[in-house]
């Protein structure tokens, strides 16, 4: 089991509050001691900060907390290793270029007997995880169907949702995927989300004695969606995603789903 | 013009001394104010820290200086923008997966009328630079000749050297490329290198009043090669690379060249 964190926003937004909650689960309030990583998009560019050391006492994680990096799309992950040893190459998120954009992927769950996914294609895994193998399989299948950038992105994401259902044959696949514009989430069994918009209020973390008044941090037009394996705050209404379904976000708004 | 920094070593080695010299050229002793980046390999995994802000006063660059990241292969770059605006997506080094390994690339120079390089292939540029276009062209040409991982890596690098000569038709291409094992360097007009090994001595930076006694930092078996656009230290013997030639390093030793 690992923990996922995703953000989609209509303005560059500081993720530090949510990251603070998540990183406590990286060895302190949770068992995920086997590395962590976070990818921030800035338009089409992205930066990934990752470390195979436990998140809760990583100096690099403390740096992320100290840096006011603002982004419209973020994917974060903390790892409890099951497939593949603890190493930088096995640390999520994973990024590949497809259709001239960087796609970033993180996975919660575990796959078994997934050799069928290790077929040939444009994208090959570098590390040893089931997760990176699944990511490359997804991109290779998308590339086969869409050798060039899809004109209809909604249709592509519907196809991606079908591929995720196929992946479920091999185990649990809670997935976050982004190209910096879209944030795609697929739920096998546990993903929760909420959208913050005006009127903003106070939010209180579950894992750390920290609260934030988003009124002070935002403008009236900000729309920010946060997705996490489990709710990060105690006093807000999180939606549980339905098993076997996907949700698609852009600029903080839900713009597509399995229905 | 940009500045390049490469390292190849037989043991995980701290690059901070050389990086300290380079970063001064990012806006203080040099004009390269348009971003900087550095990629550290840990076995097959790699981490890239980059920022479109000037290196000399970047808080993230100061973080790199504070973090004792040790690596056997490093590629660093500071940028003076000529093709493509200042943005994260245009900031070197660039990384792509090829043959199940991450390949990282940085370029000094400028290309003109390089539309012929923007042909189709597995790898597409994400940003707007001539450099990333050249990188994708190199990988696409390698992929065409070697659809699977080459059995003879020396032959692959010889072919890469020929491709670099073709690239020179479009302008200056001082290039560093690594997969974490090999460090390939091609010189159009300015690249310098040195290999440090026992007996180690004192090294004094040109760009900053800093000296280091490598005797204190190394063991007798350490072999570390550093490559830079221009020499970084004032009291060591740097070798100037010959124009139109490549050098290939592994574990700090030169293991191949154009000859």
Report pLDDT digits (tens) over A28-73: 666 667 888 999 999 999 999 888 877 666 777 777 777 778 899 9
Q: Locate B143 and state its tokens.
A: 């992929």
The whole-number average pLDDT for the span A166-183 is: 97
3-class DSSP assignment, residue B234: coil
- Most B CBs within 10 Å, among A53, A89, A98, A180, to test the B interface: A89
The yes-or-no verdict on residue B56 having pLDDT over 60 is: yes
What was the pLDDT predicted at A27?
Answer: 64
Gap from A52 CA to chain B (nearest CA, Å): 10
What was the pLDDT predicted at A26?
Answer: 64
End-to-end CA distance of chain B: 27
Gap from A89 CA to chain B (nearest CA, Å): 4
User: What integer best gives the mean pLDDT of chain A?
Assistant: 90
Top CATH class of B3-108+175-257 equals alpha beta
What was the pLDDT predicted at A56?
Answer: 63
Distance of CA A67 to the CA centre of its chain: 20
Q: Locate B226 and state its tokens.
A: 């550093």
What was the pLDDT predicted at B247?
Answer: 98
- Give the number of other Cβ atoms within 10 Å of residue B68's Cβ: 8
Identify all chain A residues contacting B123, using CB atoms and an 8 Å cutoff.
Answer: 97
Between A156 and B79, the more confident residue is: A156
Asked if B93 contacts B75 with a C-beta cutoff of 8 angstroms, the reply is yes
Every domain of chain B and the residues it spans: 3-108+175-257
ipTM surpasses cut 0.90:
yes
3-class DSSP assignment, residue B30: coil
At residue B46, φ and ψ (nearest 5 deg) are: -145, 155
A96 contacts B97? CB cut-off 8 A: yes
At residue A18, φ and ψ (nearest 5 deg) are: -70, -40
The yes-or-no verdict on residue A112 having pLDDT over 90 is: yes
Which of A80-89, A104-113, B239-248 is predicted least confidently? A80-89
pLDDT in tens, B128-170: 999 999 999 999 999 999 999 999 999 999 999 999 999 999 9
Top CATH class of A3-106+175-257 equals alpha beta
- Most A CBs within 10 Å, among B50, B59, B89, to test the A interface: B89
Q: Which of A7-21, A115-129, B64-78, B175-189 has the highest mean pLDDT?
A: B175-189
Contacts of B152-159 spanning 24+ positions with Cβ under 8 A: B153/B182, B154/B248, B154/B255, B154/B256, B157/B182, B157/B184, B157/B246, B157/B248, B157/B256, B158/B256
A42 contacts B124? CB cut-off 8 A: no
* Number of DSSP helices (H) and strands (E) in chain A, helices first: 5, 15
Specify whether A2 is catalytic. Answer: yes
């Amino acid at each position: 089991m690992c923990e996922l964190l995703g953000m989609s926003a209509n303005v560059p937004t500081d993720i530090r509050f949510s990251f603070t909650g998540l990183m406590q689960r990286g060895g302190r309030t949770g068992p995920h001691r086997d590395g962590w990583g976070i990818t921030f998009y800035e338009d089409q560019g992205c930066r990934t900060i990752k470390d195979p050391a436990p998140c809760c006492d990583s100096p690099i994680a403390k740096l992320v907390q100290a840096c006011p990096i603002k982004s419209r799309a973020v994917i974060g992950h903390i790892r409890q290793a099951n497939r593949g040893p603890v190493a930088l190459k096995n640390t999520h998120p994973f990024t590949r270029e497809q259709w001239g954009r960087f796609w970033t992927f993180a996975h919660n769950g575990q796959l078994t007997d997934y050799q069928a996914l290790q077929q040939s294609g444009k994208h090959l895994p570098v590390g040893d995880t089931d997760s990176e193998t699944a990511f490359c399989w997804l991109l290779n299948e998308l590339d086969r169907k869409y050798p060039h950038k899809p004109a209809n992105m909604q249709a592509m994401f519907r196809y991606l949702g079908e591929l995720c259902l196929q992946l479920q044959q091999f185990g649990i696949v809670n997935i976050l995927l982004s190209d910096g514009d879209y944030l795609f989430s697929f739920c096998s069994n546990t993903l929760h989300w909420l959208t913050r918009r005006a009127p903003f209020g106070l939010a209180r973390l579950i894992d750390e004695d920290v609260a934030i008044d988003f009124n002070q941090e935002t403008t009236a037009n900000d729309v920010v969606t946060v997705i996490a394996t489990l709710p990060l705050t105690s006093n807000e209404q999180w939606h549980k995603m339905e098993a076997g379904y996907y949700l698609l976000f852009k600029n903080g708004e839900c713009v597509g789903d399995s229905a």
